[in-house]
Amino acid sequence: MIISVNWLKQFVDIDMPIDELVTLIGERLVEVEGTEDLAEKYKDVVVAKIISAERVEGSDHLSLLWIDDSGVVQDVDRNEEGYVQVVCGAPNVRKDLLVAWLPPKCVVPETFGSDEPFVLSARPLMGHVSNGMIASARELDLYDEHDGILEIDKDAAAGSSFAELYDLNDTLIDIENKSLTHRPDAFGVIGFAREVAGIQGKRFETPEWLKDTGTTLGAHVEGFTAPRIYIEDAGLSKRFQMIVLDGVREDMASSVQMQTYLARSGVRPVNAMVDISNYLMLLTGQPTHMYDYDKLKAVAGDTFTVGVRLARQDETLTLLDGKEITMDASDIVITAGDTAIGLAGIMGGQSTATDATTKTVALEVATFDLYHMRSSQMRHGIFSEAVTRYTKGVPAELGRPVLNKTVGMVEEHFGARVVSETVDEYVGETTIEEIGIDSERVNALLGTQFSAEDIASLLDNVEFSVSFNADRKGRVTVPYWRNDIHIPEDIIEEVGRLSGFDSINATMPSRDFTAVHPTRFDDVRNILRQALVKSGLNEVLTYSFVHGDLLKRAGQRLENSYRITNSISPDLQYYRQSLTPSLLQHINPNIRLGYGQFGIFEFNKVHEKSSGLTDESVPLEKNSVALILADAKNTSRTAYYQAKYVLEYMLKAIGVTVQFLPLEGDIDEARASVFEPKRSARVATRDGVTIGVIGEYKASMSKTFKLPAFAAGFELSVDELVECAAAVPVHYSSVSRYPGMERDVCFKVPQEASYAQIIEAAESVLGDIALETSIAPLDIYQPEDGETKNITVRINAVSHEKTMTTEEMTAVVDAVISKVTEVTHGEVV
Amino acid sequence: MSMSVVEIESVKQELLLKVAVSDTPRDILKAPEIKALYAQIGSLDPSEKAAFGKQVNEVRIALEQAILDREEALEAVDVVPLDITAPWAANEKQPELLPVEFGSAHPISQEINVIVDIFTRMGFEAIESRQIDDDHHMFGALNFPKDHPARDGYDTFRTEEGFIPPAHTSTMQHRILKEGKAKLEQGGTIASISYGRVFRNEDVDATHEHTFYQCEGVFVSTDATLGQMLGTLRSFFESYYGQALRIKTQPGYFPFVEPGLEFAIEKPASIGGKPGDWLEMLGCGMIHPNVLKEAGIDPTKYQGFAFGGGVERLIMLKYGIEDLRHFESARLAFLRKFAL
């Protein structure tokens, strides 16, 4: 919305520089997007009088003019009388006309501020020098009229400033509409001026006509009928008024002054009828609509009824702009009889539009439900100044003063007369709100020390009527235009805002010394993240939404993903069920950028329909961590073990040990689907609780995502890890004062024996010995034939009571050997 | 004379059997039986052509699927099983980690940790926000009536079921209030932040993302004031930037607060600020009585404030990052700039 400072000044004194005003508006009223200085744009435009106009010989439209500017423009050729020669092609050019002259060196206002401002000069046209030009409304950047030059319609001296004549030494303030969504009053110049008074600490006085909600104009005139008004439901329209005016004409223009106010507010002047309606809308925030009375009556049929009802499913309507729309039962329509004649509040229909033959109009002043306005506007994609205001909730009481003012202006401009009574269907009559106020409560919420008088004065400035009792409690009567104010907090906001929130002293809340700790979940996740960072890996964040094809390629069921109905693109249509597919997409691009050996990981939430809902009936979310290691060059190592090594390193940070089981049984289908079962494992706690999957990827994945031969990773449940970490007891054994012993043993075992079998067998023995022991792998060797393999381990033992003897160590090792060979059918070499 | 339906079916079964045992299943698409079927189409009476062609095509589709399945099985045949329990493969060495200096936490995780740390020290608990929620938590419980125009500003996505990928971390506010009610009634305060990923239906460019991060705070006590809100926020930013800061506000409209404000700080010198440069940081306000009521908290006894802002903006200002799109790009060139 664009607000003209000069227009504001007609209603409020502004005694500070514009930049300070704009800052104040920003701090206490609404976000300002920018300002435009109009004065600069019009500074060289001069009012001139045409002394003579003669057709240029050999031209069918050019006239040779001598104009009088009282000699104010410098450096321009003049004749003996001091007049200046200009060539003009406009059909309406004539002697004695007052016009806007753009002299040489003047920038054409239409091009002002553009990339290529057009600077005028003295140049010949068909053999005659034209000193600049006479401007049309379009060249003056007022509106799109180029058929003729602008005719100045005020008394003005030749040579006077065009800008001064029409108040164009103005600043325009561009307001961010979104920050005013709840303030229908501020969508009118008068309402905005009221606020500007309030934030300056000045008392505002609303014009009498706008406060007068009681006067009823009009009376029945023979030969004319006012329609009967019918509102289907007060939920659609609280109030609908009409009055009939005779003697209007479509071909009459409004005053240039009105046109300039419309134009600078971003509304295109059309004709006097439309302009008056728009002018009052800009002034008050109340849109109005004029119907061709005869057409309206004809469409209505026998009984002249105008109604407001919901549209019927698939009902059609041709709008003013010629477009036919199909409506549904959530649109509000205006009807004549039962026939839809307009999309209420948004756009009138073609069947009752005013045109060149119109002599009589029916003026509509109504309110419509803002929620319906908003949904219809969205659905039909129509964005107008009128509907913008209706979506803020125009107050019903505003209708009467605006109707009366419109009538007055139409009468004055056209010499038209009222030929009906005012018909007023007021089904949702609003009562004036009275709200209790307690100055202590105001101060308690804001953290201020206002007296009751301070509060009363701030509110009184913007025409709330306030009365306080001796106990500093009181009542506030809300003016009709503030239909956004309902509860004491709304009043408190007004007090804070009008006095300036920035004047409130910033303090700190008092609280006890209880320490707050991060959640266990955040703690564990941070430890895991740090472990992976220390492993030289890079954390990524990837989108939560993926393409359906990605799910399918990853072997996941499409119907198990929540689908976004209004997604930006198919790439972002489904909630992901696991993180790994997203990461797989980012391996090859990084390799192509020259990274050989790397790993990426992500902590994020995943969503599967099969997880069900929480007790709040929203989808259960799972927290996952996924990692992928890739090496574009080195294929001599087995990727699985690299991933396993990182996994064990990460889990060590939270004290969790796991076992690696075949990829079958209790596994999360969505997490497991990308992994090759023969080279992957189910990761489970010692108690057998599955926490995720680790492994290399299926050949089809490698192909799809162009993975290098070395690629492996894991995806685990962070929720389970947090549970596991919590269950880990704190464990510490003191450092022994005695030296320990170590012994290396090489087991030759059948090829199919697993490493875990050896370790578990050994640990089962070591666990029963009253020594501190450990066992670790040293070497794994497999000869060419592949029948057997040699696994070398190192056994450490230390006593906390004495120095161990070689015999004692040998006994320990022998016990281990005996158990391991028994379990594996192997031997020691 | 064309083949009957039965004959076509028997050709299909025969070929499927071949695919199931073939080492080069794709070659079967070139089998003479297939060629013969296609050859017949041309010689058929136009009335029969369409139906016959359709049957032949179905045979081909069935074969293609069988070939894909067989190919995947064949690929897996060559896969050598591993000892999944071993620390490394036979004849290989113990794996090693990558150099620690390559490692990096995502800048968003790092910054969230900084934010959470400051608020935790100030006495705020921290929880992560949900990534899928319902209309009630996203709007209804926050005093946004259905079809309220203020909903427009949030450009929300919806799922088929009507769930919402939250467009603000305020989606946790109702939960925080409900959960904190008991503490409040025992004489304590509610002081909590929620942080996390939010979603808006916006086209992506250098300054817009459909996926981004926010942090939200809630404080409720018997005597919380707007002045305390300003003090708390200033304190946070002063701690974050390690210097004294000037603050200013402007009225803002959010249905879940009353009064509602936009909060700005004077741009700190540490990120190149000069006096008079202001940075809009977040929206804030006193919690609307309806929001407290909805959570079962008596607004005549308790009052509070709430605030929320974006995380990426802080990071972009801190490092001078020019393009939002880097954050979700998963490009190592970007990520490794944040190595610890």
| B149 contacts on A by Cβ (under 8 Å) | 181, 370, 374, 391-392
Tell me if chain B has a CB within 8 Å of the CB of A806: no
- Are the Cβ atoms of A700 and B75 closer than 8 angstroms? yes
Contact partners, residue B224, CB within 8 Å, separation at least 6: A509, B189, B286, B303, B304, B305
A-chain residue closest to B71, CA distance? A700
| Average confidence (pLDDT) over A543-560 | 92
| B235 contacts on A by Cβ (under 8 Å) | 508
Of A374, A563, A754, which is closest to B85 when you measure between CB atoms? A754
Alpha carbon separation from A13 to A198, A202, A211, B159, B276 (Å, rounded): 11, 9, 20, 53, 28
Return left, alpha or beta for A394; rule: phi > 0 is left, psi -120 to 50 is alpha, else beta.
Answer: beta
Give the Cα separation of A110 and A103 in Å (integer). Answer: 15
Alpha carbon separation from A757 to A321, A373, A712, A760 (Å, rounded): 83, 73, 24, 5
- Are the Cβ atoms of B133 and A680 closer than 8 angstroms? no
| B158 contacts on A by Cβ (under 8 Å) | 564-566
Of A29, A514, A781, which is closest to B91 when you measure between CB atoms? A781
- Are the Cβ atoms of A540 and B330 closer than 8 angstroms? yes
- Within A576-621, strands assigned E span 597-606
- Are the Cβ atoms of A487 and B289 closer than 8 angstroms? yes
Question: Looking at the DSSP assignment, which residues form a beta bridge with residue A171?
Answer: A37
Inter-chain contacts counted by CB atoms under 8 A, chains A and B:
341
The secondary structure of A136-177 as a DSSP string is BTTTTTSSS--SSBPBP-S---TT-BHHHHTT-S-EEEEE-G
- Are the Cβ atoms of B87 and A583 closer than 8 angstroms? no
Q: Residue B61 burial (CB < 10 Å; 0-12/13-18/19+)?
A: exposed
* Residue among A778, A779, A795, A791 at smallest CA distance from A752: A791
Tell me if chain B has a CB within 8 Å of the CB of A662: yes
| B97 contacts on A by Cβ (under 8 Å) | 534-536, 645-646, 649
Interface of A with B in 435-494 (CB under 8 A): 444-448, 487, 489-490, 492-493
Of B83, B152, B251, which is closest to A755 when you measure between CB atoms? B83
Structure token digits, residue B137: 């938590």
| A376 contacts on B by Cβ (under 8 Å) | none
Q: Residue A566 burial (CB < 10 Å; 0-12/13-18/19+)?
A: exposed
Local confidence band at A470 (pLDDT 50, 70, 90 cut-offs): confident
Q: Round to the nearest angstrom and report the end-to-end CA distance of chain B.
A: 78
Whole-prediction pTM: 0.85
- Tell me if A151 sits within 8 A of A162, measured CB to CB: no
- Are the Cβ atoms of B203 and A568 closer than 8 angstroms? yes
Lowest mean pLDDT among A200-204, A249-253, A336-340, A819-823: A249-253
Interface of A with B in 173-202 (CB under 8 A): 178-182
Local confidence band at A293 (pLDDT 50, 70, 90 cut-offs): very high
Give the Cα separation of A566 and A254 in Å (integer). Answer: 46
| Average confidence (pLDDT) over A782-793 | 89
Tell me if chain B has a CB within 8 Å of the CB of A517: yes
A121-166 pLDDT tens trace: 999 988 899 999 999 999 999 888 767 899 999 999 999 999 999 9
Q: For residue A182, is pLDDT > 90?
A: no
Question: Which amino acid, A499?
Answer: S
pLDDT at A421: 97
Give the Cα separation of B66 and B55 in Å (integer). Answer: 17
No. of H helices and E strands in chain A? 25, 38
Interface of B with A in 6-65 (CB under 8 A): none
| A644 contacts on B by Cβ (under 8 Å) | 87, 95
Interface of B with A in 242-281 (CB under 8 A): 247-253, 258-262
Which CATH superfamily does the domain covering A741-828 fall into? Ferrodoxin-fold anticodon-binding domain (3.30.70.380)
| B140 contacts on A by Cβ (under 8 Å) | none
pLDDT at B30: 84
Q: How far is A245 from chain B (nearest CA, A)?
A: 35
Alpha carbon separation from A680 to A629, A671, B318 (Å, rounded): 14, 12, 42
Q: Is the peptide bond before B259 cis (omega within 30 degrees of 0)?
A: yes
- Tell me if A332 sits within 8 A of A345, measured CB to CB: yes
- Tell me if A668 sits within 8 A of A674, measured CB to CB: no
- Are the Cβ atoms of A638 and B161 closer than 8 angstroms? no
Domain boundaries of chain A, sorted by first residue: 2-35+172-206, 44-160, 228-426, 434-500, 520-727, 741-828
| A583 contacts on B by Cβ (under 8 Å) | 330
pLDDT at B222: 96
Of B95, B157, B259, which is closest to A641 when you measure between CB atoms? B95
- Tell me if A280 sits within 8 A of A189, measured CB to CB: no
A-chain residue closest to B154, CA distance? A178
Of B98, B175, B332, which is closest to A590 when you measure between CB atoms? B332
Q: What is the DSSP letter of A351?
A: G
A371-380 pLDDT tens trace: 899 889 989 9
Local confidence band at A665 (pLDDT 50, 70, 90 cut-offs): confident
In chain B, what are the domains? 5-77 (no CATH), 104-338 (3.30.930.10)
Q: How far is A141 from chain B (nearest CA, A)?
A: 32
Query: For the domain bounded by A228-426, which CATH number is listed?
Result: 3.50.40.10
Tell me if chain A has a CB within 8 Å of the CB of B106: yes
Helix intervals (H) in A366-451: 370-380, 385-390, 399-414, 439-446
Percent of chain A with pLDDT over 70: 100
- Tell me if A478 sits within 8 A of A435, measured CB to CB: yes
Of A492, A536, A756, which is closest to B85 when you measure between CB atoms? A756
A388-439 pLDDT tens trace: 999 999 999 999 999 999 999 999 999 999 999 999 999 987 788 899 999 9
| Average confidence (pLDDT) over B138-153 | 84
ipTM of the complex: 0.87
pLDDT at B3: 65
B-chain residue closest to A529, CA distance? B105
Q: How far is B26 from chain A (nearest CA, A)?
A: 16
Tell me if chain A has a CB within 8 Å of the CB of B238: no
| B263 contacts on A by Cβ (under 8 Å) | none
| A659 contacts on B by Cβ (under 8 Å) | 85
Percent of chain B with pLDDT over 90: 67
pLDDT at A179: 73
Q: For residue B258, is pLDDT > 80?
A: yes
Q: For residue B4, is pLDDT > 80?
A: no
CATH 3.90.76.10 fits A520-727, yes or no: no
pLDDT at A146: 67
pLDDT at A512: 81
Q: For residue B1, is pLDDT > 50?
A: no
Q: For residue A103, is pLDDT > 60?
A: yes
pLDDT at A511: 81
A316-362 pLDDT tens trace: 999 999 999 999 999 999 999 999 999 999 999 999 999 999 999 99
| Average confidence (pLDDT) over A245-257 | 93
**Token pair 């009335």 in the structure block, residue:** B47
Structure token digits, residue A669: 């289908």
Question: Looking at the DSSP assignment, which residues form a beta bridge with residue A423?
Answer: A242
- Tell me if A313 sits within 8 A of A330, measured CB to CB: no
A273-288 pLDDT tens trace: 999 999 999 999 999 9
Give the Cα separation of A576 and A585 in Å (integer). Answer: 13
- Tell me if A476 sits within 8 A of A459, measured CB to CB: yes
Mean pLDDT, chain A, whole residue set: 94
Give the Cα separation of A422 and A439 in Å (integer). Answer: 44
CATH 3.30.56.10 fits A2-35+172-206, yes or no: yes
Give the Cα separation of B116 and B109 in Å (integer). Answer: 10
Structure token digits, residue A621: 């979310």
Q: CA A490, A493, A499, A500 torsion: positive or negative?
A: negative
Which of B98, B133, B138, B331 to mutate to test binding with chain A, by most A CBs within 10 Å of its CB? B98
Highest mean pLDDT: which of A559-573, A776-790, B63-77? Answer: A559-573
Give the Cα separation of A140 and A148 in Å (integer). Answer: 12
Q: How far is B270 from chain A (nearest CA, A)?
A: 23
Give the Cα separation of A502 and B167 in Å (integer). Answer: 29
Give the Cα separation of A570 and A726 in Å (integer). Answer: 41
| Average confidence (pLDDT) over A187-200 | 97
- Are the Cβ atoms of B97 and A526 closer than 8 angstroms? no
Q: How far is A143 from chain B (nearest CA, A)?
A: 31
Q: Residue B245 burial (CB < 10 Å; 0-12/13-18/19+)?
A: middle
> Rounded to a whole number, what is the largest CA-CA distance in chain A?
134
Mean pLDDT, chain B, whole residue set: 91
Lowest mean pLDDT among A6-15, A760-769, B9-18, B110-119: B9-18
Domain A44-160 classification at class level: mainly beta
- Tell me if A163 sits within 8 A of A38, measured CB to CB: yes
Structure token digits, residue A558: 């499409």
| A562 contacts on B by Cβ (under 8 Å) | 132, 159-161, 163
Q: How far is B188 from chain A (nearest CA, A)?
A: 8
Q: Is A32 helix (H, G, I), strand (E, B) or coil?
A: strand
Tell me if chain B has a CB within 8 Å of the CB of A374: yes
Of A512, A757, A789, which is closest to B90 when you measure between CB atoms? A789
Interface of B with A in 59-98 (CB under 8 A): 72, 75-76, 79-92, 94-98
- Tell me if B112 sits within 8 A of B213, measured CB to CB: yes
Give the Cα separation of B3 and B9 in Å (integer). Answer: 10
| Average confidence (pLDDT) over B121-132 | 96
B-chain residue closest to A487, CA distance? B289
Domain A434-500 classification at class level: alpha beta
pLDDT at A547: 96
